[in-house]
Structure 1
Amino acid sequence: MNQHALIKTDAAKSPFLRDWRNKDAAAWTEAEKRKRIYISPVGLDHLRPMSRTLSKIEVTEKSRQKNVRKLGDYFHEEIVKAFKSAPPGNREVVPAADADSLVLEVAIIEFNPNPVIGGLVRKGINILLWPGAETAVSHKLKGNMAIEGRLMDFKTKQVLYEFADAEQNRSGIILYVHDYTTYTYFRKACREWAKQIEAVVRTEAASTVKDGPAATLLLW
């Protein structure tokens, strides 16, 4: 990926934290001819070690590896589902790349499982002090997940678009069920990312696609 070229996005226009768009108009004109899209299995080859203390205390690396593989499979299924349920007239999802297809690659590069202890600590701080008091330390008390992805023209091998994003529980003042489960929130994040990725690819990485709300209103 062109990590050095990824720039911070305008949150009002992009659901991703950073992205890069190929400025070659000819590359996009050629890509418009591709009537299919191949969605690669979600990559885990560049997954970083756990970096948050509570995550490392609560979850063994063996357990994390097992569950991140399940999460990767689930993420891939959701991306495929998002493209297959897109408005009529869009690219056909195919099982293998060919000269008439674009290729979408997504990888999970960081994953710290959500620590249940962190949710309990945050709740305790709010009860003992005041609602929202845990905001200053909430970042370290939550798990997080980061992804990177790119869209490529299989025929020309031109990379058209790259993006990077990260998520952690967005519960705000009210603590949801997600704060007391290790993996549930990240399944929700994958569903949201899948829809956003499809929308961005469909609009050729040029139109406004907004991120989800700051706080989740759904339990699952």
Structure 2
Amino acid sequence: MITSCRSAKSVVAAVEVKPTQFLPHAAELKEDRKRSPFLGNWWNPDKRVQAAAAQVKQIYIAPVITDHLRPMKQKLTKLEFSEERRNKKMTALAGYARDKFIQAFKKSKQQRFTVVEAPSKDAMTLKLSIFEWEPNTVTGLLAREAVDLVTLPMVGDLLAKPARGQIAIEGILQEPRTKKSFFEFADKEEARTLFFFFPQELFPSGQAKYAIREWARQFEKLMSTPDDVKVKDSLPFQIIAF
């Protein structure tokens, strides 16, 4: 499980991401194990766009949209959540996501981009869309804990996959002068395997917020490091709460 985080996503957890029409180059996304932690990546091959993007020193992070949010699929999730209840929480989660991406750039030690508050001809624009979200459920937590009680710790997380929280995101980084995509990505995360029980499992958005913080950190690092630097994914297990 810990040989690599990418193998944890692709093999152990069998996580796959299917982006929406939000991404202009959704069909061209590929894994980039040598560079990116995201499951799907597309870099604009146009040298003119690359050169233009290299000159930009600012970034605007647009409000996160949920226009392409897919219906819930998990049976336990649908038992505990109506679409109306999930949508209300989704609004807050979208705001949380934008805040965390802004914070990631503002707190960056590399300072590749300065965050601006409005779109600008001198700023890259990051557009984000959350298109899947299966909230944590108390029923799912109890099911996983019950398995752990009669087996070993973490076995419940591995066997009860349909009872685990999930979230998927996609994004476009747009170059301001050409208005073309410089980078597009998509990724999906499931609740991490836990060594111990943590309070965040009791909150519907606990897993989602953890994933969002990791995505913000990873994206900022991907944009602020040279092309030959590998940005590592987060571990397939979690040992601290929140």
The question of a shared fold, defined as TM-score above 0.5 by the shorter chain, is answered with: yes
CA distance in 1, matches of 2:187, 2:227: 15
Count of aligned positions: 219
Superposed, 1:1-220 pairs within 5 Å as: 1=23, 2-10=25-33, 13-87=35-109, 89-134=111-156, 137-172=159-194, 174-203=196-225, 207-220=229-242
Structure 2: which 5+ runs fail to align?
A: 1-22
SS at structure 2 position matched to 1:71: helix
Instruction: Structure 1: state its 5+ residue gaps.
Output: none
Task: Say if 1:161 and 1:205, in contact at 8 Å, map to a contact too.
Answer: no
Question: Using a 3 Å threshold, how does the CA distance of structure 1 residues 200 and 187 change in structure 2: closer, same or farther?
Answer: same
Preserved CA contact (<8 Å) 2:157 2:193: no
CA distance in 1, matches of 2:137, 2:111: 43
One-letter amino acid of the structure 2 residue matched with residue 138 of structure 1 = A
For 2:72, give the aligned amino acid: M
Whole-Å Cα distance in 2 between the matches of residues 205 and 62 of structure 1? 43
Counterparts of 1:121 and 1:52 in 2: how far apart (Å)? 14
Question: In the aligned structure 2, how far is the partner of 1:199 from the partner of 1:139?
Answer: 30
CA contact (8 A) 1:169 1:178 kept: no
Residues in 2 aligned to 1:44 and 1:198: alpha-carbon distance in whole angstroms: 21
Deviates more, 1:129-138 or 1:83-92: 129-138
Tell me, in whole angstroms, the C-alpha distance in 2 between the residues paired with 1:168 and 1:140. Answer: 10
Change (3 A) 1:204 1:66: farther
Q: Which amino acid aligns with 1:5?
A: E
Q: 2 CA distance for matches of 1:157 and 1:204?
A: 23
Q: Structure 1, residues 80-122: CA drift from partner, whole Å, max 9, x if none?
A: 1111112264222112222211111111000111111111111
TM-score (norm 1): 0.91
Aligned CA distance change for structure 1 residues 83 and 121 (closer, same or farther; 3 Å): same
